[in-house]
Structure 1
Amino acid sequence: MATKTLARGMGTFFKDCVHPESRWSKCPHEYKIRYRDAAGKQTEESGYATQDEAIDRLTEVYTAKKATRPNRARADRIKKYGGMRFEEYANEWKAGQRDLAASSLRHLDSLLNHHLFPALGSRRMNTFDHKVVDRFIQTMERNNVGLATQSNAFDKLKSILLDAHRLGLFGENPLEGVKPPQYDPERAVIPSPAQLREIRTAGDDTFLLFADLMSGCGMRNGEAAAVNIKNIVADNVYRISEQVNQTTGSYGRLKHRKIGEYRDVPLPAQIKDTIEWYAHKHGTVDGYLLRHPQDPAKAFPYYYLGNRWQRIKKANTTDIPTGMVMYGFRHFFASNCLTHGIPITDVAEWMGHNSLDITFKIYRHLMPGSISKAAKILDMGLAA
């Protein structure tokens, strides 16, 4: 008996006779096929007059078997996760979010425990659809939950349900057609250059250093607290590689970054001078300019900055814009970039935003572009 094997997994076709393969086309005996079915059991069929008929049948079986495998895998996932309660599924999903910094993880826990679990914790995963999601948003609205919190809670629910959708738990996307909470951040209060010059010198040397790092390099409070002279990697580049973690009070990874990841940001000459002036005047510890006032072995507790800011405001001797907070220094950095035509994509990267949408929502009103200006610029290019 001679046999012939096709592609791996398709099986074989053969003739159960004494004729060699070279004579099969003229041999009167019928073709047979042998393959393993979807359950893995070896199966044999006969009655095929030509080789093409035998191959067509093997191809048909192979195609059906390939389609069965993902269907079976999906059925297994539905069986495992479909009846699972949302709280259990969400906790399993959270365990996979290993890139979250401690502050982000604390924020996630707050949203889960105060908003998602009370409303949805006991619901079975296979019962979610767009109506359930809509009702969740409506419940937050009735409870007068702030729009920013509504938006954040919805984003976390969206991430969890999309993860389940990728596993095949839903026939249709349960978020399809859902109108998310319409959160639009208030415009940032930004000091003018003249106000910035006055505010930065209203406190002590440490306050000035913070003000310059945040307004000149776009650092967050915790990142400025971890400033290190060794991170000046070029005359005009500073590498932000860590921050003082608000929870632990020690140095940790950056927000939205994994351990070891960093951001290289522009280092204006004035800010470089401030760093070097402060290091020369106050000294450093392993390159760090700021340490705990009572224990130099510890990181700088950057909440001290808030106390100094409140004292400056309370003194009422400095021209501070109404509504400005410490983050106004960082907002100044974004404003300075965008009003001078630096692309918003670069600004988002330097500020460490994990989504360009965040940068756009907060700072879009600062972008100098307009349709009429774009038309003039394009016309100049066409005429060149």
Structure 2
Amino acid sequence: MSAWEDTKHVDAVLQALDIRLDGTPAAASSAKRYRRVLNVVLRYAIRQNVLADNPLPKGRDENAAPKTSGAVDKRSLLNPGQAAALLVWIASRPRTGHRLTAFFATLSYAGLRPEEAVALRVEDAVLPSTGWGELRVHTAAPEVSKQWMDDSETHETRDLKGRASGDTRTVSVHPALTWILHTLVTQDQLTAGSLFFPGEKGGLLAGSVYRQAWDKARKAILTEHEYRSPVGKRVYDLRHTCLTTWLNHGIPPAQVAEWAGNSVPVLLSTYARCITGQTVELQQRIEGPQKLPGVSLAPGPRGSLSPPLPRAPGRAR
């Protein structure tokens, strides 16, 4: 541990965290996460009296962590035609195509996170035969590497992200998704305690399965240029597209945040670059109030303002 007292060793470690094993730069988000983990380890060493203080540089430094952006890349969003074509292609897959289609539709219409949709059960849904339904989301099942688990499971049951323990959020279900889920319950003869989207062998749906299906659908439906682009590259982009659609069609951010399970500040910072379609209306709102009555600022002859600004009364020429 005495090596940490030499700044050249500290700098070497920080530089190594920013580089992958093949020598290429690591993603900014990865490098930042590694530094956070290192900082936790060093703080633990201080509490155990192994180190006197934290050797990592403070404030602005040439070895500072790379900047990351939490904003959604607008290029990753799917248009309605692309989303529909991808879902139709997935529905044509044998055996599990109808189930995977319903899984992706839940992300696309209700904005659920993949780990939330994986854990969704029939008893968590209100599905009328027609019209709007409701999902009561209260559990997430993210994938975790087996080396961190006490058993052979690859999913860990957790509370909702950013919510208190045991908290539940309610999401309105678009009529199209209501019909899809209602049909799935009937076709697969699901009961109240059944998972909506189980794996082929039962249990939770594996991320490798739905990611592989999504990649095959993109390759089959999108053009070569679109496939190489960020459009819909991640399954999570279905959620991004859904939330952006809600915001762009005038749903108040507070309501979108409630349905999505985000705070309003996080929602706006994440999707601010994707909000479109309201520019003309907003311009019209401020066009009148920003006019200066009786004054034109258009340049006249010789670069002077025309007409001249009015003079104060009684002022000498």
Aligning the two structures, in what range does the TM-score lie when normalised by the shorter sequence? 0.5 to 0.7
Give the 3 Å change call, closer, same or farther, for CA 318–140 of structure 1 in structure 2. closer
> Within 2, Cα distance between the matches of 1:241 and 1:372?
40
Alpha-carbon offset, residue 367 of structure 1: 1.7
Is the 1:263–1:350 contact (alpha carbons within 8 Å) kept by the matching residues of 2?
A: yes
Assess if the C-alpha contact under 8 Å between 1:249 and 1:299 holds in 2: no
Partners of 1:138 and 1:345 lie apart in 2 by 41
Residue 270 of structure 1 is aligned with which of 176, 190, 201?
A: 176
Name the TM-score, length of structure 2 as normaliser.
0.61
Q: Which residue number corresponds to residue 303 of structure 1? A: 208
Kindly indicate whether the alpha-carbon contact (under 8 Å) linking 1:241 and 1:262 is maintained by their aligned counterparts in 2.
Answer: yes
Where do 1:153-164 residues align within 5 Å? 153-154=34-35
Letter in 2 for 1:292: G
Deviation larger for 197-206 or 342-351: 342-351
* Rounded Cα–Cα distance in structure 1 between residues aligned with 2:273 and 2:221: 30
The letter for the 2-side match of 1:303 is S
Aligned: 1:151 with 2:35 = no
Q: Deviations over 1:226-248 (max 9, x none)?
A: 22232235854322111334233
1:227 aligns with 2:120: yes
Runs of 5+ consecutive residues of structure 1 not aligned to the other structure: 1-84, 86-120
Secondary structure at the residue paired with 2:89? coil
Q: Which whole-Å CA distance do the structure 1 matches of 2:60 and 2:39 have between them?
A: 13
SS of structure 2 residue aligned to 1:191: coil
Measured in 2, the distance between the counterparts of 1:162 and 1:376 equals 55
Tell me the residue number matched to 1:12: none
User: What is the alpha-carbon distance in structure 2 between the residues aligned to residue 276 and residue 249 of structure 1?
Assistant: 29
**Counterpart contact for 1:240–1:264, Cα < 8 Å:** yes
Instruction: Give the equivalent residue in structure 2 for 1:215.
Output: 108
Q: Could you say if the C-alpha distance between residues 198 and 371 of structure 1 is closer, same or farther in structure 2, counting changes exceeding 3 Å?
A: closer
Distance 1:376 1:160, change over 3 A: farther
Give the C-alpha shift of residue 269 in structure 1: 1.7
Task: Give the percent of matched residue pairs that are identical in Structure 1 and Structure 2.
Answer: 18
Give the TM-score normalised by the residue count of structure 1: 0.52
Computing the radius of gyration from Cα coordinates, the structure with the larger value is 1
Per-residue Cα deviation, 1:325-366 (whole angstroms, up to 9, x for no partner): 222222211221222233445444533457944x45543221
| Structure 1 residues 159 and 241: CA distance shift in structure 2, 3 A | same
What is the aligned partner in structure 1 of residue 137 from structure 2?
A: 240
Distance 1:371 1:202 in 2: 35
Q: Give the corresponding residue for 1:280.
A: 186
* Separation in 2, partners of 1:301, 1:337: 28
Which digits, 9 at most, give the CA deviation of each residue in 1:295-347, with x for residues without a partner?
4xx33334321232233345x25669433322222221122122223344544
RMSD between superposed Cα atoms in Å = 4.4
Contact 2:135 2:170 in 1 (8 A): yes
1:292 corresponds to which of 199, 203, 206: 199
- What letter matches 1:219 in structure 2? L
Distance (Å, rounded) in 1 between the aligned partners of 2:185 and 2:242: 23
The residue matched to 1:288 in structure 2 has which SS? coil
- Residues 319, 336 of structure 1: CA spacing in aligned structure 2 closer, same or farther, 3 A cutoff? farther
In structure 2, list runs of 5 or more residues that go unmatched.
46-51, 91-96, 145-152, 292-317
Indicate the structure whose relative CO is greater, using CA pairs within 8 Å and at least 6 residues apart.
2
Match of 1:113 in 2: none
The 2-side partners of 1:233 and 1:381 are apart by 47
| Structure whose residues are more often strand by fraction | 1
Contact conserved, 1:251 with 1:299, CA < 8 A, in 2? no
Aligned residues: 252
